[in-house]
Chain A
Amino acid sequence: MPVAGSVAIVGTATTRFGVLHDRGYLDLLAEAALGAIADAGLEPGEVEAAWLGTAEPILAGLVGDAGTAVAEAIGFGPRPVTRVSNFCCTGMEAVRAGALDVAAGEHGLVLAVGAEKMRDVTSRGSLLAKTANQTHPTLAKGRTAPGQFALLATRYMQAYEVGIESLARVSVKNHEHATRNDKAHFRDAVTVEQVVGAPRVAEPLGVLDCTPTTDGAAAVVLAPVAWAERHAPRYAVIRGVGLAVTDGYFATFYHEDEDFLGFRSTRAAAETAYRQAGITDPRAQLDVVECHDCFTITEIVNTEDLGICGPGEGVGLLESGATAAGGDTPVNLSGGLQACGHPVGATGVRMIAEIADQVTGRAGGRQVPGARTGLAHTLGGPGVVSSVAVLGAP
């Protein structure tokens, strides 16, 4: 049967995010996995299969390059474990794969865990070195992650006559949100002046427009809704889930369909998830949103691509306060990638856990009163991979 409406999230856990020199990859994985299983009221022996999301095992000495990491970390053998990877959608892919597993009826109780150990090397030695050294020797050579999203910022600012102060307000908002998230990488508020005055990384983006490089892990336990109705202390239902992959890693920059004002992948993934979930007016129907704010400009175009506002209206939406805590559609109450951090494989799972906690009333100081429907969104690679999931209260 389809995932939408038939698969529940019955347990969640997220480790502290940050530069965690005292914790190894397997430590983080184990903490999240065992935490989610315990949160579901289960024993590890009751979980039948696991899906692991880790995008860059090369950063941690190839730990996490296959499902073996789960077997090693929590003694999961001899059960099936598979690692999935799809750029920054890796964590959401672990959840989606686990949900497909449950929906297919192959396994009943399934673990989806995302973990990333990015700071066992320096931040410069992490994804940046990979980009510089391992990518295609001619095509798109010189591309970095901030440089790629800066292309959108330049184009967007020119097309819609927007200044960098408007972009900065995403960072200000999400850092303020993170002051209420004790798991977040950064928990200090920042000002527009600080964001605008920070050193430039890829113009017009500066350091405080960018996600940090973060260690962390998150996990959820998936089960059939029918099982959750009888056994789960509380649960969220996956109402819709969409994945869209639109183009190649290097080739997309060369293709005339790209307008550098947003991402077709997000629009396509949202269309799928919304159709399944019956979302026709996202701003009215979504109580809370976690979206992929890897850079400030990304959240602005995401809110447009997700249909929370129209094209070119992202800055207006942001500046209206609608997406801030207390607004009608709060976005990234966790602090988002901007302040909570972005351990790549963990991020999507962390978002799913966050939204599941919101619609089950367990989000603590970040709780949106009465939240019943929420959305999680990740965007991967050069924006050609996007995952959107809509979760709801039972």
Chain B
Amino acid sequence: MAGAYIRGVGLSCALGEDAESCVSAMQRMQVRPVRLHLDEFDEPLQMPYYRIPDRSELFDAGRFERLLPPVARAAVAQAGLTPEEIHRLPMFIGSSCFSVGLSESRYASALVQQPETAIPMPLCGYQDIAVILQRTLGCKGDTYTYNTACTSSANALLAALRMIELGWYRHTLVAGAELANRTTLAGFSGLQVVAETLRPFDAARKGLLMGEGIGAVVLSAETDSANRLRVIGGASNCDTWSVTTANTDGNSVAKVLNQALHQMRVQPRQVRGIKAHGTATPAGDAAEALGLRQVFPNLPPVSVLKPYLGHTLGACCVNELILYAGALLHGFLPATPGFETPDPALGVQPITTPEPAPDGHYLLNHFGFGGNNTVLALEKIAP
């Protein structure tokens, strides 16, 4: 595959509200979760949480419409698309929450005002992100909304890449969005996978921390000669071992890594760095580490970005791609804050200080509920 170029990016996450400042905050190793309290339950929930540092209330129903458009606008502006190109721009959306936060607020206030007519799930929100972005950006193109848990935006990006390859589209907007909502926060608490500290691949890892993030990428068939980042391919598969985690023997992770490498005709020794998924759950990291070691006898530097922005679930691929790609352009591989004690059972040790990022191939891992595994590949091109 010829691949597609990253022409423009926009990002809003715990690190900041524009992509460039997020990347430099990551270079400074800024880690800023806040303490989140959910008091409505029998036993109040509390956990560290990576929120977008806008000034509004976390569950303010207007945030969804307010925070989405600026991110996409930033990506489109940086890409320098013509009005005609924007008009026809297709969108590939990945999210695991969509507008469920908005749906929750409406249902909650209906229960207070008119309990006998209150309807649960008043919004069927799969299309809401696309609708808001189309309206605010003035796009009329096709839309594809992916909902495959934590690989949602990875699969959306893979589809965009392939349709560009086919010549169906010259430019695409790929967006991931995950905003605070009670379903996700309480749901993951019920799964008992939320930790107090995020320690990916660490012997003391206890689980994940969630975060908010909206990311948008303009992915294009062509670019100017100054552009040095290309998405060159990827692979996706489904492991039916367990609905909540990839097979902990690492076999299904190894399989999707090998598929991605084979498809790009790249040898493991040619890979210069890996952005791991690294949820920091005991089983998730085990599956990923054992899979990585099956494929890479000598592992290139591994980075985990969730300590910077939390696990942004369905949006994590696009958000972390923007951060990782930004780091590559600035010439560094991101460090992994929170990793301290190697786990001999895993044998994967993420880098703890930034390292130089040479030209060449990089892999980005994403694994989700439903056995969904997706690996994407980036190339940093020599000037």
Do the two chains belong together in a single complex?
Answer: no
Binding site for A on B (CB under 8 A): none
